[in-house]
Chains A and B, each alone.
Chain A
Amino acid sequence: MKKTGRRTGENIKTAATVFLIFVLSRLLLTFVACAYNYMTQGYAKTWDLLYKFDALWYVDIAENGYQSVPNSVTGYANYAFYPFYPIVLRFMKCILPDRFTTNQIGVIVSNLCTLIAGYVAVQTVRRKYAEDKGYFIAFLIFFAPHTIYFSMTYTEAMFLMFTALFFYCCGRKHFFLASVAAFFAAFTRIAGVFLVFSLLLFQYEAEYGWSVSRSKLSGFIKGIFARPLRLLGLLICPLGIFGYFYYLYRLVGDVWASAHIQVAWHNSYGSVLRTLFYNLLDSGSGTSSQYWALYAIFGITMFAYLCYKKEFAAAIFGFLAVGISLRTDAIAIARYIMGNFSVYIALYELLRNRQQAKTVVMSTSIIVTGLMYYMWFAGECYFIF
């Protein structure tokens, strides 16, 4: 009884500290919005300053649903965007007073998801490193460069929350709950479907450690089919996304419409190496492309570091989720990398015992994120897009 009470007290303290770091990060956002309004002699509200690019698509889906025919001029269609986040916005719009616009609801939902992700991330690293306080990972989620999307009507925050919950549940060996988190992650962004491979690796590690042999592998596979709950857990991961594919077939007549529509936005390079090569050396987008390619290399290095640390389940999720985007192009890859929970695990592991480096990263993050917010408000944000 006493132990439970102590644990509850500890959890409340953790939640309060994470909340405080979160408030500080949003103070930075509001300060930059004030600075932007001062510089431009404007009076725009922070909600409206954040409302740009993909946020418009999500608001459109939440308010009007999916379109059955692409735009006759641009060839774009809103079914390129996955459904769970707009579903939540629509649901919240129904239960909240009318004075809230869909964009405002999106901002609230995303910030709430970020806060939860920060708390879950701290609890996740504490499970592995009991001696750590773990607040640094929450700091990274709230302040690191390219986390500005977590405060606007974008899916990144929700996706991060579900993937953080997935890793937390796997750390506690609650594999069925982890499957449920993976289901919601995949329903939010297609990259979430790769969590099924991480789940398999977590389950294998729980049974055999990292010792691999043919008999252990066959025993593991037989074990999946012999335990229907485990099999069901694996099978529900992609359910949301397959449900969406079926819906697209009914709406557009094309199961893979959300993938096919990408051609309207940009051409595909067809492989990760080609994408990196052309973006680094020979791309029409100039320095933006080089920045994205270098960011992709940073992400890949982080995932390789996870392999070195024997965090294979996190590494495979990172490689596959970022790899699927890189096969097409490096555009916006920084957003996908910083929206991937594996990167935060890698950064935490890399820096947890390096106090000086940690201080440098923290200071740089605050400055760069402040600058990125300003650039976003100004609309001069092509390279952070």
Chain B
Amino acid sequence: MKVFLKGLLYVPCIGLIAFYLYVIALGFYPQVSEQYRAYYIDHSVSMWQG
């Protein structure tokens, strides 16, 4: 029983690791406008023109 409960605790651990990896992966693919990308991410323009 104790071993089973201990094993069960790994389930949320795996879930959390998967969630963190998923969020980090999303960070590589921002879904934003061109203006947003240029000003906030690439810093290729110096003025926000939202």
Spell out A's residues near B (CB within 8 Å): 69-72, 74-75, 228-229, 231-232, 235-236, 238-239, 242, 245-246, 249, 252-257, 260-261, 263-264
* Minimum-distance CB pairs A-B, first 10: A75-B48, A253-B31, A228-B9, A255-B27, A260-B40, A235-B16, A254-B30, A72-B50, A253-B32, A228-B10
Q: Are B12 and A232 in contact (CB under 8 A)?
A: yes
* A238-B20 contact, Cβ under 8 Å, with A253-B30, A255-B30: yes
> How near does chain B come to A72, taking the closest CB pair, in angstroms?
5
How far is B50's CA from A72's CA once the two chains are assembled, in angstroms?
Answer: 5
CB within 8 Å: A-B pair count: 71
How far is B26's CA from A252's CA once the two chains are assembled, in angstroms?
Answer: 12
Give the interface SS of chain B, mostly helix, strand, loop or mixed.
helix
* A229-B32 contact, Cβ under 8 Å, with A238-B20, A263-B43: no
Q: Are A71 and B50 in contact (CB under 8 A)?
A: yes
Q: Are B23 and A254 in contact (CB under 8 A)?
A: no
How far is B32's CA from A154's CA once the two chains are assembled, in angstroms?
Answer: 30
How far is B20's CA from A251's CA once the two chains are assembled, in angstroms?
Answer: 18
Q: Are B50 and A70 in contact (CB under 8 A)?
A: yes
How far is B26's CA from A87's CA once the two chains are assembled, in angstroms?
Answer: 25
Q: Are B48 and A70 in contact (CB under 8 A)?
A: yes
Q: Are B13 and A255 in contact (CB under 8 A)?
A: no
Q: Give the chain B neighbours of A253 by CB distance below 8 A.
A: 30-32, 36
How far is B39's CA from A236's CA once the two chains are assembled, in angstroms?
Answer: 33
Q: Are B26 and A249 in contact (CB under 8 A)?
A: yes
> How near does chain A come to B41, taking the closest CB pair, in angstroms?
6
Looking at the complex, which one of A72, A235, A238, A252 makes contact with B32 (CB distance below 8 Å)? A252
Q: Give the chain A neighbours of B10 by CB distance below 8 A.
A: 228, 231
